[in-house]
Structure formats: C-alpha cells, structure tokens
Amino acid sequence: MRRAAALALVAVVPLLMAAGDPNEPTGDVVNCATGAPVADPTADVTAVQGEATELGSAAVWRITFAEPLPVPDHDGAPLRIDVLVRDPTIAPVTRGDEHGMNRIVRWNDTGSDALENVMWVYERNATTFNPPVIDGRTITFTVPGRILLGEAENGTEFVSRARWSVLVRDRNACDRVGDVPRYALQTVDASPSPTVSHLIPSRSASPGPAEGRSPVGWVLTAILLLTVTVVPFVLLRRRSS
C-alpha cells in the first residue's frame, strides 16, 4: 500500500511542478561561467508569473526583480532577459548552454521603447513585437500566440501547450528560473487588452435593457394624451354653437 502511494506521488509531482509558477528565491544570482554566487541585485529575479490570456491566444510573463530596473542600463552590456519557450509540436534545439527549447522571447535593456525580439530558433527566423511594460521592479512581456508559436488557420494560435523558463543576464551575472522550459502558462479569464485585441473578432454591442420611465416622461405623455382627446372636443363644440 505504501509503495503504491509513493509511486502515485512520484507520478503527480512533475505535473504539479509543470502547472504552477516557480517559487524564485532572492539572492541566488551566480557567475554565468563558474556558477559561483555573486551580489548583483539588478539581475536578481524574485518572482515570475506566466499566464495564458486573451482567451488563450496570448502569453504574458510578469518578472519581478529585487530592485527597480535601470532603464536604460548604461553599466556595461545592457541587462538581457530571455524567456525560453518550448513548443512540444516542434523539435527542441540546443544553443550554447541552453537546450530543450525552440523559441526565445528576448529583451535587451537599451531603453523603455526597446522591442521584444521573438526568435524561432528551430526555423532560424525572428520577428519583433511591442516593447514590454515596465513598472518599477516588474516588467511584463505580452506575445500573441501567432507570433510566439505560429499562425493557425483561423489567424490565431493558442499558447496553452507552451512551456517556459527564464534566464536573466547582467554582464557576467546570471539568474535562472528553471532549467529546460517546463513551466506551464496559467489560464486566466481576462477581457481582450489593447495590445492584442485585434486577434479576437469584435462583437457589436447589443442595446441594453430599456430603463424605466422617469416621472417627467409620464407627465409629458399624459399632457400629450389630454391634448389629443380634449382639443378636438372643444373645436367640435365651437362649430356646433
């Protein structure tokens, strides 16, 4: 009995790890080459949240750092953020020390207007998208599914199958959230945002329910009815007299 319970737990744990957002500790920045701990709060990621929004047709990542992002980053090479993505329908690729992925959402901290660079590693292709939203310590990336994974026949693409991890590099300092991309995007119910609202067909607004008449409306209606009934009666009496 205990053996069966242990086997069941082993089978379930990886699923739970893939489903939830990672718990990212503070102060775990290391040297990119040696892995030795280094003190670099600029590269220190404290939280990451990955979501599938826009009815599942867009991916959103919110990455929070220990300190506000310096925008732009003038201290040496600019800070680089890589969201490593794996589309399970495409063969994984190895590039340098990175493996098990085939898409990269990359942003270099050269300014608040710097675009996101979406790289299709397997196909050796790339495109750019809107700049991320930066708010103090948090930076938010939004990528439509058709740009991240490719366009389906209906002009969109659902991102629920994508798996991800994050790598932040500040010169020789690195902070990694996950190794190979294995985290799933959490599905949220949200109305279409202006960023990717063009991906979802718009629906014409239907008229709302009629509101109850105000007292003024009732008075005007009564006056109109009284005029229609009384005036002809008065005119008729004048003609007959």
pLDDT in tens, the chain (241 residues): 444 444 444 343 343 344 455 767 788 999 999 999 999 999 999 999 999 999 999 999 999 999 999 999 998 899 999 999 999 999 999 988 899 999 999 999 999 999 999 999 999 999 999 999 999 999 999 999 999 999 888 788 999 999 999 999 999 999 999 989 999 999 986 554 444 433 333 333 333 333 344 444 554 555 555 555 554 554 555 555 5
Which residue matches tokens 């939203």?
133
Amino acid residing at 144: P
Q: How far apart are CA 100 and CA 86, in angstroms?
A: 7
In 3-state terms, what secondary structure has residue 34? Answer: coil
CB atoms within 10 A of CB 113: 9
Cα–Cα distances in angstroms (integers) from residue 83 to residues 58, 109, 144, 239, in the given order: 14, 14, 14, 91
Structure tokens at 149: 């994974």
Specify burial of residue 110 (Cβ count, 10 A radius: 0-12, 13-18, 19+): middle
Q: At CA 161, angle to CA 158 and CA 163, rounded to 5? A: 125
**pTM for the whole structure:** 0.71
Q: Report the pLDDT value the prediction gives residue 202, as an integer from 0 to 100.
A: 30
| Tally of residues, the chain | 241
Distance spanning both ends of the chain, measured CA to CA: 110
- Tokens (6 digits) for 94: 């190895």
Our CA angle for 128, 180, 123, nearest 5°, is: 40
CA-only gyration radius of the chain, Å: 30
230-233: list long-range contacts, CB under 8 Å, 24+ apart. none
Cα–Cα distance for residue pair 206/229, rounded to 1 Å: 38
> Among all chains, which residue has been given the structure tokens 């680089």?
80
Q: Are 141 and 132 in contact (CB under 8 A)?
A: yes
- The structure tokens listed for 193 are 């945002």
Report the DSSP pairing between strands 45-53 and 186-187. Answer: parallel
28 in Cβ contact with 44 (< 8 Å)? yes
Task: Give me 184's structure tokens.
Answer: 């799933």
